Amino acid sequence: MKMNRLWIVVLFIWASSCGSKDDTSQQLPYQDTSLPAEERATDLVSRMTLEEKIAQMRYEAPAIERLGVPAYNWWNECLHGVGRAGVATVFPQAIGMASSWNAPLMHEIATVISDEARAKHHKFAEQEMRGIYMGLTFWTPNINIFRDPRWGRGQETYGEDPYLTGELAVNFIKGLQGDDEKYFKTIATAKHYAVHNGPEPIRHSFNAEVSEQDLWETYLPHFRKTIAEANVQSVMCAYNAFREEPCCGSDTLLTNILREQFGFDGYVVSDCWAINDFYEKGDHEVVDTPEQAATMAVKSGTDLNCGDTYPALVQAVEQGLITEEEIDVAVIRLFKARFQLGMFDDPKDVPFSKINYEVVGSEEHHEMALQSSQEALVLLKNENNMLPLSKDLKSIAVIGPNAHDHQVMLGNYHGTPTQLKTVLEGIKDKLSDEVAINYAEGSYIVEDFPTMKPIPAKALTPAGDVNGKGLKAEYYQNADFSGEPVETKVDTLIDFYWYGRSPITDIEADTFAIRWSGTITPPKSGTYQFGFNAAHGAKVSFNGEEQFEFYNEHHPSTNTFEADLEEGKTYPIVIEYYNNGTDPQAHLLWAIPDEDLETPAIEAAKNSDLVVMVMGLHPRIEGEEMGVKLAGFEGGDRTDIKLPEIQKELIQKISSLGKPIVLVMMGGSAVAFNWANQNVPAILYSWYPGEMGGEAIADVLFGDANPSGRLPVTFYKSVDDLPDFTNYDMENRTYKFFTGEVLYPFGHGLSYSQFAYDSLQIPTSPDAEGNVTVNVEVTNTGEWEGMEVVQLYVKDDSASFRVPQRTLGAFKKINLEAGATEMVSFTLSEKDYAMVNEEGMLTIEPGSFTISVGGKQPGFEGLADAKTSGVVTGSFMVKGSPQIIQ
């Protein structure tokens, strides 16, 4: 009875404090909004039981009603737009945003994303919805260095250079976290810390070994930058081990470097189920039990568990492995973050709570997405100024497996757009009705990987006595199919995006279920591939047998099966789909066997004045830990970087017709399209360009936008030119150390205008503070207004240890009207031109330093040379004795 009375008193005090902001006489310290967040967090945690504390250390944190603590799910994504939470503006994939080389634009994009994040969070909270993808703590950005093009998750990064990555990440994080003095708008997470970038299939057991020089020159500086310059409040530790310590249990990484050297004061979250790897067979196996694993992670500094290991901390305390005081440290960090987000304060006092839900997917945000997509596009080649194309055409062929595919526009970790356009749709909208547009898919992305398409209504017959074509659809209010259906009808096409709302109640992320039933009649005999793509879960039975049942609360996924069918025969199918998540969608797909895709493509090209071929990669075959094994692809990674042979052959056959060809390449990583590079006159690389990508590509193709993207990675000619994928040494990797012949260099990109560089001014030596100020005149000598990325590279000519061939030291994107000149100025501090020695120390040695400034790297010839830009070079001297500045 005594404890019950205490609960009543606490609840009364909490209710009183919420009812009157000014009456603070009855407030407990954690309810006092005038106190610092850490002090409030410390007080709140002191009132919890051990079991309550430990429960808060898992990503699905339950409510503590007696203390007024609501449930909270820490898991949320916003890699290039709020992800997996229904409708959101979808920007280009991260590698595409990096191709803009526009740091201020990154801040604007992140501001849009955080506006939508806040609006969505408060909308969910109003409906007492606190599940996954509904919070304010985002596991973004991915700032791992894209050291090898084979890594499938490289698309999530900002490229291969630590400086470029750091500059873009700082701006993105600031846009996410906001600039209020008291509250964070959202909390960003720099991941995956550290020395992490594939291979995907062995990430749970792999141990990364690198030298001190590579560690501090390549793998850590951008993490330090996000802490020092952006005050990032969360860091996610990686799956792999580093020097035999799992990253999420590494004293070296988490304690010695992150907190002691970098001064990080936020919280660390594990990658999902990474701590299980500490003890599970076949993975790291550094301990024997979940109790030992949880202890190791918490003592090293991992505060939050995405996974299911931390409940074992209760037994770990009982076993004497860890103390409650050590657990308190982690829990206080977590609640400090929630207080800093304003989650326990009156919404009227939190400025970001006032953002209206109408901003989500608004026209203003679509305009920002369009600009971002335009600036992400990299014009690699434009022989004889073939681009831009004239709109005065009689006919045009649009050919390729990526020409009219919605998923390829989005990449991974994305939301649900409302205005998505494919390349085909963008071109159609650009041209008049008098222009004949001949479309053909042409080929698969890769051999033995057919394109899955929605099953048409003509092949579907509903169950029972229902008339029409399609499948009988029974809609249930509850996800467990309980009760009677609230609606029964025929759905002609099972290809639904419900844009974050229930199709029954029109409520955001409501629970519901649908049972589709009927028969499928194939148009021809052969082996069909079937797929069902859904967010959350489904069970599919075909021809009387259950094919699969899956549950996935984390993101939409496609499950597949094969079946040998006879033409004209009917086959029963039942699909039970249920939704409890934030992004309801359902797609019944198939691939018809032995389709002749090539003949229609050749005919389309023959009947057209020119051809736009849309080829490349696809997010279904490159990405995170995927169940894919195909020629050139395995587990989400690539085993070869060349363009798949089936696509190369199609390009060759279309080229043999003698028609003018423009090649639009899509993908999340560098591709060695060597034959096309020599034989196709114009090549545009578009990455996964986002919801406005189709319009942006059409804008550039037809001259309504001037391309300004630059490569954030090196395009190599062959995987044979690269070291083994598992070798993390930087020798012969990236623009800094690769000594072979490239297809296209880091920083490459063409414009429809031309930019000349002149009047380079460099002092003979640094000033008294060690700074070097560099000035250069940039002139747009062409006839188009355009944007130029001014790139400054530094080379230490006199170092006594290994240094890069050149290092990006500064960059700036400028816009110049035709004929205009701008003086661009950079000030390099000592840290900007110092080099990392063998001991990992940032060092300046006396001697000569070469500076090159231009719209590209110097020294390349042929197609690898961006002829629409210039480069000027100079040098300065450092005198005196060697000095360590870090």
**pLDDT the model gives residue 330:** 99
pLDDT above 90 for 15:
no
Q: List residues bridging with 562 in a β-sheet.
A: 529
Point out the catalytic residue in the list 116, 148, 167, 271. 271
89-100 burial, b at 16+ Cβ within 10 Å, e below that, comes to bbbbbbbbbbbb
Distance CA 344, CA 84 (A): 25
Q: Is 288 a catalytic residue?
A: no
Q: Residue 270's closest CA among 292, 239, 244?
A: 239
Q: What is the mean pLDDT of the chain?
A: 96
Distance CA 76, CA 511 (A): 19
* Per-residue pLDDT tens over the stretch 205-248: 999 999 999 999 999 999 999 999 999 999 999 999 999 999 99
Tell me what the mean pLDDT of segment 193-210 comes to.
Answer: 98
Q: Residue 121's closest CA among 526, 430, 582?
A: 582
What is residue 218's DSSP assignment? I
Of the candidate ranges 5-9, 63-67, 341-345, 805-809, the one whose mean pLDDT is the lowest: 5-9
State the fold for domain 453-591.
Jelly Rolls (2.60.120)
Tell me what the mean pLDDT of segment 597-617 comes to.
Answer: 98
Of the candidate ranges 18-32, 273-287, 654-668, the one whose mean pLDDT is the lowest: 18-32
**pLDDT the model gives residue 886:** 74
The 3-state secondary structure of 383-446, one letter per residue: HHHCCCCCCCCCEEEEECCCCCCCHHHCCCCCCECCCCCCHHHHHHHHCCCCCEEEEECCCCCE
**pLDDT the model gives residue 14:** 39
Please give the angle made by the CA atoms of 757, 760 and 766, to the nearest 5 degrees: 145
Confidence of residue 25 (pLDDT cuts 50, 70, 90): low
- CATH number for the region 38-357 comes to 3.20.20.300
Place of tokens 């109790």: 291
What is residue 77's DSSP assignment? B
Place of tokens 């550094």: 286
pLDDT over 70 percentage in the chain = 97
Place of tokens 């547009």: 437
Distance CA 189, CA 191 (A): 6
Q: Residue 495's closest CA among 538, 547, 455?
A: 455
Q: List residues bridging with 189 in a β-sheet.
A: 234
- CATH number for the region 366-449+596-737 comes to 3.40.50.1700
pLDDT above 60 for 414:
yes
558-581 burial, b at 16+ Cβ within 10 Å, e below that, comes to ebbeebebeeeeebebbbbbbbbb
Domain boundaries, the chain: 1-32, 38-357, 366-449+596-737, 453-591, 755-884
**pLDDT the model gives residue 372:** 98
Q: Do domains 38-357 and 453-591 have the same CATH topology?
A: no
Tell me what the mean pLDDT of segment 576-598 comes to.
Answer: 95
Write out the two tokens for 690.
């986002």
Q: Which amino acid is at 224?
A: R
Distance CA 202, CA 756 (A): 48
**Rounded to a whole number, what is the distance in angstroms from the first to the last CA of the chain?**
61
450 and 529 Cβ atoms separated by less than 8 Å: yes
Confidence of residue 557 (pLDDT cuts 50, 70, 90): confident
Q: Residue 409's closest CA among 113, 154, 666?
A: 666
Predicted TM-score (pTM) of this structure: 0.96
pLDDT above 60 for 663:
yes
Confidence of residue 6 (pLDDT cuts 50, 70, 90): very low
Q: Is 161 a catalytic residue?
A: no
pLDDT above 50 for 3:
no
* Per-residue pLDDT tens over the stretch 357-400: 999 999 999 999 999 999 999 999 999 999 999 999 999 999 99
* Per-residue pLDDT tens over the stretch 378-390: 999 999 999 999 9
Q: What is the secondary structure of 601-651 as a DSSP string?
A: HHHHHHTSSEEEEEEE--TTTSSSS---EETTEETTEES--BPPHHHHHHH
* Per-residue pLDDT tens over the stretch 664-673: 999 999 999 9
* Per-residue pLDDT tens over the stretch 419-460: 999 999 999 999 999 999 999 999 999 999 999 999 999 999
Confidence of residue 509 (pLDDT cuts 50, 70, 90): confident
**pLDDT the model gives residue 541:** 98
Q: Residue 135's closest CA among 341, 306, 415, 335?
A: 341
Distance, CA of 32 to chain centre? 38
Per CATH, the homologous superfamily of domain 755-884 is Immunoglobulins (2.60.40.10)
Point out the catalytic residue in the list 156, 622, 691, 699. 622
**pLDDT the model gives residue 1:** 34
